[in-house]
Every structure is written in structure tokens, then in C-alpha cells.
A and B are shown apart, each in its own frame.
Chain A
Amino acid sequence: MIVLEHAAILVVVIPLLVSFFNVIIGLWKKNLCYPMTVLTLGFCLILTVNIIVSVIEIGTFSYRLGGWTPPWGIEYVIDHLNAYIAIIVSFISFIFAIYSRKSIEKEISSEKIPYFYTLYLLLAAGLLGITLTGDLFNIFVFLEITSLSAYALIAIGDENAPLASFNYLIMGTIGACFYLLGVGYLYISTGSLNIADLAGLLPGLYHSKTIIAAFGFFIVGIAVKIAFFPFHIWLPDAYTHAPSAVSAFVASTMTKVGAYVMIRIMYTVFEPRFSTDILPITAILGWIAAAAIIFGSILALAQKDIKRILSYIIIAEVGYIVMGVSIANKSGFTGAVLHIMNDALMMACLFSVAGAIIYRTGSRDIYTFGGLGRKMPFTMAALFVSAVSIAGLPPTAGFFSKWYLLLGTIYEKKWIFAGSLIFSSLVNAVIFFRILEIVYFKKHPQTGLIKEVPMSMLIPILITAGGILITGFYSGDIISSIIRFAVPREF
């Protein structure tokens, strides 16, 4: 079938095109935008499922844009790692497309809704593009597509949103420019932008200062993009003030895709030995990640705005992923990759629950959540599941990725790293059991009118919560059929 043959590019192109038509159709009939977005992303989901199935069956395959042979033409290379990330992204974007309808109706004025969906699709297209492309410059372009649509989406949030978005824009641009510099240095040294091609060309040049500088620029640039400590300052504001559906989507995908780019550059473009031996950046990254985990957890504990709590937790979770990547052994890497999915699901669930609470109560202060356990039983059950998961307790998904991360640190005898992971688990437990205590055991004076959120919001919440349980249970299968192949051979 021709559609399936071109699945790799269609996944990116279709949302891109539809986002363009959305503006035009929005002028004519506003109501069409929502079903179109959902349909498009549903179609993308089917395509990514197809992609991952063929990757599992036949292994890595590539798609040549316009038939140009690499390294001159742009190539889309699909292997286990990015098929896995792509399915996470398309799943989450589909889920929140459904979720967004009611939540957005309440938060932004109706004439802006077509633009919202346009940007939403653009963001999804950008994320999928980053994931699937096999070209470094292409990644930059998609990175900027995602970022630009994210800036705009965040800016339509509450009254402080434009300011938060502007700060994010400044930081994001610095990050993107650093990344671009890295691309430039590599291009000057090798004359190639194709990831597979570069991986072959670079080993001879590992001791060149230019290459080392390029690597440094890449890491710093991505660190800013994924809000890796100490470049995290933009994130809490941006995610707190964005509309609920946007923070849910953005929080659960953007940092994860950024982490994917980091993995690609550290372990595909460069060989693992470059970042472990030649330029021992993994050691430094590991320590910073430990700091990020501790710092993020403690700051999250100090907040009382639910979205801000979650934002600081993301900073800690990014630390988890980077730590797993920088441990540079099989378990650590498996843990990091598994955690990308688990964290995406957990953040999706938590932010969508936060959105549901805001939708019904209009408050983000956790001390006003009293009595919600009775009024919104299903949403709160989802909150409970994700809280258990984020505290890293079995049998949820969060436990399994934390298990691998801990195993990785212990293999390397990095006790302080293990300690930071445990510390963050415990702090997360404190944070969430405090919230759950309020939700279930405190009374609220004015909960009379509050009821469960509409179905279109509830179902995505429950799906993500169910996802946390199910992926936890099938972690073994996910690892043995996908992640195992994504681990660099050198580990």
C-alpha cells in the first residue's frame, strides 16, 4: 500500500498540511477544526503504530525524501528508538487533541480556537519531525517549529502567560542557536549533516577541537531546550501559565523529545566512547542530573500551585532521564529510555488531572482541593495512580524505570546518584500523598456544584492512567522487543 510505504514522511507532512488548512477552514466553519485535528492525529497514531510494527518485524529502515540519496538528500531513518518515541508523541498528541475541546472552550475565546488547533497540529508535526528525521539540520528546523508553536500556545494562557512565554522564547532561542552552532561545526569538519553518515565520518576526528566544541554546543543547546538544571528557569512559569491542554501536551512530550535528541547525539552521531572517555561529559552530566533531581524535588515540595509543583517535578524527571543516559551502561540506558515513556504518561496524566481540576474549580492551589475525592472520583483515581507511579512504587510504570535507573547507578557504584533517585522518590511521595490527603480527607466549604469533568476530558485522563498501569505490567515486553535494540552496542 502506498500510504504505508510512505508512512514515515506522511506522519510529519499530514499534520503540517492540515494545520495550514485548519486556518482557512476555521474562517469558514469553526466547528470543523476540532474533528479535523482529532482525525489527523488519529491517522498519525495509526501510521506510527504501523511504523513500530514494521520496525519490530524488519528492523531499521529509511525513507529518502524526494528520492535523493543520502548524505545529499534528507533521509528519514526509523529505528527502534525513534519509532518508540514517535508512538509516544503521536499517542499523547491524539489523546490531548480529544481532551483539549472542553478545556480550551473554557480558557480561550472562541474566535481563536482555529488558531489553537493550527498551532497544536504544528507542534505535533514538529515533534514527530524531530523524532523521525535522520538529518541534523532537519532536527533544528523541526525543533524551531515545535518551539515556535509552543511559544504561541503558551502565550494564549492566563494573563501572565505572554511574559512567561517571552522568557521561554529567549531561552529557547539561545538553546536552538547553540544547537545550530554545533551543526555548523560538524558540517565544517565533515561536510555532512546526515546522522548515519556523520557517525561513520566522525571517529577519525574525535580529538579535533572543533568536534569537541561542536559536542559541547549540542549538549548545552539541548540542555536549555529540555530545561536541564541549571537551564530550567523558564519552564515552571511557562508550564504554569499555559492553558491546561497545552501544558499537558507540552509537558509530556517536549522535554522527552529533547532528551531523545540528546541520546541521538551522544550515542548515535558520536560513539559512546566519545562522551565517556574522550570528553568525559557523562561524569559531569551525571552529577548535574543528581543536582537537578534533588533541586527539582525540593522546589516542588515548596510549591502550592499544582501546575508549578508538576513543573518542578518535570525538572527532576529530566534529571532522571539525563542521569540514566549519562550512566552509560545497559541498565541505565534502558531505564532512561523506559522513563521517557513512563514520564510522558505520568506527566500527561498529572497535567490533565490538574487541567480537569482547574476546569471544575478554577483553582490551582492544592489547599482548595478538599473533598474532590468524592466529587470527581475517576479523575482523582487517575491522580492516585499517577502519584503512585511518580513516587516510583510498584506495580506502576514509574517503578520499573526507576528500578533500571537504580540498577544502572549501582552497577557503576555511583551511590550518590542512587541516593538522589531514592530521595526524589520519597519527596514525590510526600508531595502527592499530601495532595491526596487533601483530596480525600479534607472537606471543602463550596464543593456543591463541582462534578466529574465531561467525558471528552475524562476518557483521556483514564486512558493515560490505565496506560501507566498497563505499561508497568508490560515493561518486560517493551524492553525485550523495542528498547533492547535501541541500546548502543558498546554498552
Chain B
Amino acid sequence: MDFIITKYHYWFYVSLMMVGLYAMIVKKNFVKKLVGMNIFQTSIILFFVSSATKIHATIPIIQETEGIINPAHYMNPLPHVLMLTAIVVMVSSFGVALALLIMIYKKYKTLDEDEILDIMRNKQ
């Protein structure tokens, strides 16, 4: 129990991730897949960001210019920075995916995997 409560934020992101993964693999509608993908990616961002937090710490902007700087007073900035990059990556992959979906829709007039497979089979 203790294991679950002290690490509750990890459980949170894991469950989010599973939701996303489920949608990506099981859902037949491409848009739903894409939404799943987004949830999946977001959960990872949450994971990274939550790993940076420290209790009673503040944002990593150093105010006092003199004296010893105690790292425990500041949150770790690096995961945030990494996630900024990751967000850029995710947004662009989301964009590419949407563009692809538009192309697919133009061609098949549907975004349902089963229907598209039917159309392809009928063509052959």
C-alpha cells in the first residue's frame, strides 16, 4: 500500500499510458488511434516532469546571488527542458499524422480501419 501511495504520481502516469496504448492498438478509428497516441505521449511528459519535482522546492531561477546555493531548494530544470524538445517532437508527429489522415480520408472517404480494408479488398 505504501508502495502505491508514495509513488502515486507514477501510478497515475502509468494508467494514462495504458489508456493511450490501448487506444492506439485496439481502436479501429484512426482518429481515436491518434488521440491515444497523444495521451500516451503526454503521460511520458508527465512522468518526466513529475520526476523533476522536489518537495518544498521552487522554480529553478536563482534569486540570491551570494552564498551557497542549495540544490534541494530548486526543482531540477533539465527534465523540463528535455520535455520542451519532446513536446516539439510530439507536436510535429501529431501534425504529420493529421496530414496523413487527411490524405487517407480524401482517398477512402472514411477513417475506419475495417472499412478501408474492405475497400482495398473489394478493389482487388
Contacts and interface: CB of A to CB of B under 8 A. Distances in A.
Q: Does B bind A?
A: yes
Interface of A: 137, 140-141, 144, 147-148, 151-152, 155, 159-160, 162-163, 165-166, 169-170, 173-174, 176-177, 180-181, 184, 187-188
Nearest to B38: A173
Interface residues on B, range: 20 to 34
A110 B41 CA distance: 36
A177 B44 contact: yes
A2 to B, nearest CB: 28
A170 B100 contact: no
Contacts of B44: 177, 180-181, 184
A23 to B, nearest CB: 15
A148 B51 contact: no
A153 to B, nearest CB: 11
Contact of B103 (A162, A180, A184): A162
Interface of B: 21, 24, 30, 33, 37, 40-41, 44, 47-48, 51, 78-79, 82, 85-86, 89, 92-93, 96-97, 99-101, 103-104, 107, 116, 120
Contact of A184 (B41, B47, B85): B47
Given A137-B82, A144-B93, A174-B24, A163 B40 contact: no
Contacts of B78: 187
A209 B24 CA distance: 27
Contacts of B85: 137, 141
A159 B107 contact: yes
Nearest to A165: B100
A160 B103 contact: no
6 contacts: A152-B99, A162-B100, A169-B96, A173-B37, A173-B40, A187-B78
Nearest to B40: A177
Nearest to A155: B100
A188 B51 contact: yes
A148 B92 contact: yes
A166 B104 CA distance: 9
Contacts of B47: 181, 184
A148 B24 contact: no
Contact of A151 (B82, B100, B116): B100
